[in-house]
A and B are shown apart, each in its own frame.
Chain A
Amino acid sequence: MKVKVLYFAGLREQVGTPSEDLDVPPTTVAGLRSQLMARGGAWQTALAQGKALRVAVNQEMAQPTTAVKPGDEVAFFPPVTGG
């Protein structure tokens, strides 16, 4: 299935891309994170477990167990610092 993955702020700089289109089997937020970490290098460091990281699915805050479905937009980013 196709999903769009977005990266913001420091995380975007670490992985070196703002977005990508992926073709992956149906999964969860945690599953997708593991797949991306398996790329190694900066991906593994930037998405490491225990790191303060937020994930949104279709622009709503998500949990590790949140399902990722065909056509979803999944965004990874650091804790927010606006205002």
Chain B
Amino acid sequence: MAVRIQAADFDAGAEIAALRRGNPKVGAVASFVGVCRDANDGAAVSRMTLEHYPGMTEKAIGAIVAQAKERWGVIDALVIHRVGELKPADQIVLVAVTGAHRGEVFAACEFIMDYLKTRAPFWKKEQTPQGSRWVEARVSDDEAAGRWAGKSKDAA
């Protein structure tokens, strides 16, 4: 289980290969890559700055990953989240999960991402033609995270 917050870009393929390397118990790998879009809420976005809370961010993601591991019994997980200046088409976040079977890794990967969006202290500021603005939290993200609350392991 690893959590990395960094300004530098990452090689998703190499990270995923390293995550499962040498472990023949792994039968499934699921991953998600979040990317910076060139538009949001009706405005063109030319640049984005990601701020975080050093210390708490790592802890919060670590707790989310630990919860996913316990709930789905996955083998390993990796979260890399970039901070600082980003531009459209840049990678923002990687979540990769390994396990024995696809069901648990799909679920764990989505759970980690949904919880990260609502619980890990990051904030995005976008540069648009009208100036810069802080991105507002979305109700749909809260709903996405909320749907995991009542779900049993079997239903996931």
Contact = CB atoms under 8 A, between A and B. Distances in A.
Interface residues of A, number: 17
A80 B115 CA distance: 11
Given A8-B51, A75-B53, A75-B56, A82 B137 contact: no
B100 interface: no
B143 to A, nearest CB: 14
A59 B59 contact: yes
B96 interface: no
Nearest to B113: A83
A79 interface: yes
A77 interface: yes
Contact of A77 (B59, B121, B136): B121
Given A78-B134, A83-B92, A83-B116, A10 B53 contact: no
Interface of B: 34, 50-53, 55-56, 59-60, 81, 92-93, 113, 116-125, 134-137
